[in-house]
A = this chain, B = another copy of it.
Amino acid sequence: MREVGARGPAISVDDDCPVREVLDRVGDKWSVLIVVLLGQRTHRFGELHRAIDGISQRMLTLTLSRLVRDGLVCRTAHPTVPPRVDYSLTDLGRTLLVPLRALDAWAVAHRDDIRAARARHDAAAG
């Protein structure tokens, strides 16, 4: 996060905030799932499509091309017929797995706390 003074003159969120950039890339509906799957092994397009329940072909294509563009995922098209395209993590993509797993660990550790808080809140008010 960009440095923010205690009574500083307002963060500019659009400007120059690294976390913002990461979340814009990885905070969407499918990117994390894909990165984690590719963290296990290389997958073909169709494998990913089958592995991720509920994703449309359009969103899989779109999300993959963004991840490739950002250098997190590597695309390898084999000039065969029928075509075969493999996706895997780049070195950069693999480094992202680390903080992603930290976030995951937090999620696993605290999901019950969140659910409890939510239940308490909803019971109190509505």
Residues of A within 8 A of B (CB): 1, 4, 6, 8, 10-15, 17-23, 25-30, 32-33, 36-37, 40-41, 50-55, 68-72, 92, 95-96, 98-100, 102-108, 110-111, 113-114, 116-118, 120-122
* Chain B residues whose C-beta falls within 8 Å of the C-beta of A108 in the assembled complex: 18
Would you call A53 and B102 a contact (CB within 8 A)?
no
Main secondary structure of the interface of A (DSSP, over half): helix
Residues of B within 8 A of A20 (CB): 32-33
How many angstroms between the C-alpha atoms of A4 and B10 in the bound complex? 43
Query: Are B121 and A68 closer than 8 Å at their CB atoms?
Result: yes
Instruction: Verify A106–B96 contact, CB threshold 8 A.
Output: yes
B53 near A4 with CB under 8 A, answer no
8 A-B contacts, Cβ less than 8 Å apart? A1-B32, A1-B104, A4-B51, A18-B108, A71-B118, A92-B113, A96-B106, A99-B106
Which of A72, A107, A108 neighbours the largest number of chain B CB atoms within 10 Å of its CB? A107
